[in-house]
Amino acid sequence: MNPRRTETARPGSDVVILGAGPAGLVLANLLHQSGIDCVVLERASREHVETRARAGYLAPETVRILERHGLADGLRARGREHDVCEFRTPEGRFRLRYGGLGRGEPHTVYPQQSLVSDLIAEFTAAGGRIAFETEARSVTGVDGDRPTVLTHDLDGRPTQWPASYVAGCDGRHGAARRAIPAADARRRHSDHGVSWLAVLVAAPASMDAVGYAVHREGFAGHMSRGPETTRYYLQCDRGTATDSWSEDRIWSALAHRLRADEYGPLREGPVLERGIVHLESDVLRPLRHGSLFLVGDAASLVSPSAAKGANLAVLEAEILAQALAAAVLRGDPRPLLRYSDRCLSHIWRAQEFSHWMIRLLHAPTAPQESSGFHDSLRYARLESLRTSRSHQDWFAENYVGL
């Protein structure tokens, strides 16, 4: 019989942050710069969070936020501006140089793991505290003045982390979301009925654009992640097992759907990672319960069809950092009262464009929409995007905007 583990308590902090992704780390850096005591709790190891491949397209406003707070040295040194996407359809292909449309702004391609590594290095070099391999199990007391996070380390040792505020940046299945009573939150959820096989390959990009292929056998996507790695997506049946596609099958399907025989061969390489992505949207309202605030994926899940998730997370982190600074340093709670509404206005605009992209790139999945009528609407949208300057300007503004 194992002896009962003794629960320990850490000294209190102004803010306990759950999760060391872009949201939590930007928030931690900004709070630390303001002189607000905070600690980051992350269930994974430092090596894991610094190497897990995620999004890589930073919106112009994300870059401005990072530059504004002195957090952009890495992306300015190693990031690449990108401003063109290519659509491939049965009728042919067309390219949009969106950096010259709308507001005339490009993306910056910088792998998320590189950004996370930069933010960790900046925070720890300045004396910030991150507890890796420390899983938040529960958040209690959020209706009072002293919420507490209970964590377990790898050996199962429980520890209490009291704070004045808790920032939940630990995803939609994390302890922060679970701490909000269901009766006090309204959830808006949509399963778009589409699944992707996502693969990361050790090969340079095969085109100088983000590639979107509309094909009768399903969508295929191409996104550069750096000089030697590329992310590909293949629409697949719901219920597909991650390992049911061999590398040969993956490359064959990619070449077929991206029409490599017409537009040039793909640069192949070994598959480094693979996983199944179900395109879902999920939003909680409000994003605050007492002294607990939700940020990033804990606040909302946006389908990856428009690369909004990490960018929203950075924007929300800055909004919350400014509001917490007003409350902690100046005793002004008003920005915290506005936090949820401010973030939700950005979230729903991103959700709307993401939903539009899903309908543009995929055949209808609902039985009542399975006729050729909705397919014809989709091709009419693509034709309008190819030929209408006003449509192109709208696309560019929403594609890179927040």
Neighbours of 190 (CB within 10 A): 15
110 is catalytic: no
Measured CA to CA, the distance from residue 397 to residue 188 in angstroms comes to: 25
**pLDDT number for residue 154:** 83
**pLDDT number for residue 396:** 96
Max CA distance (Å), the chain: 73
333 is catalytic: no
CB neighbour class for 193 (10 Å; exposed up to 12, middle 13-18, buried from 19): middle
Q: Which residues of the chain have pLDDT under 70?
A: 1-7, 9, 11, 366-371
**Which residue has tokens 């029409």?**
259
**β strands within 228-270, DSSP E:** 229-236
Chain-centre distance for alpha carbon 107: 15
Q: Does domain 8-56+111-185+286-357 have CATH number 3.50.50.60?
A: yes
> What angle in degrees, to the nearest 10, is found between the helix axes of 22-33 and 309-330?
30
Catalytic residue among 57, 98, 212, 339: 212
pLDDT in tens, 21-67: 999 999 999 999 999 999 999 999 999 999 887 778 999 999 999 99
399 is catalytic: yes
Listed residue (112, 115, 113, 156) closest to 133, CA to CA: 156
Measured CA to CA, the distance from residue 14 to residue 16 in angstroms comes to: 7
Cα angle 226-83-247, degrees, rounded to a multiple of 5: 40
Q: Output the pTM of the full model.
A: 0.93
Catalytic residue among 308, 346, 355, 362: 308
* φ, ψ at 300 (rounded to 5°): -160, 150
Catalytic residue among 32, 304, 339, 346: 304
**pLDDT number for residue 125:** 97
Tokens standing for 304?
């990856």
Listed residue (207, 186, 200) closest to 283, CA to CA: 186
98 is catalytic: no
Which helix or strand (DSSP H or E) is residue 253 part of?
A: helix 247-257
Measured CA to CA, the distance from residue 131 to residue 45 in angstroms comes to: 9
Q: What is the CA radius of gyration of the chain?
A: 22
Which helix or strand (DSSP H or E) is residue 8 part of?
A: strand 8-9
**pLDDT number for residue 52:** 84
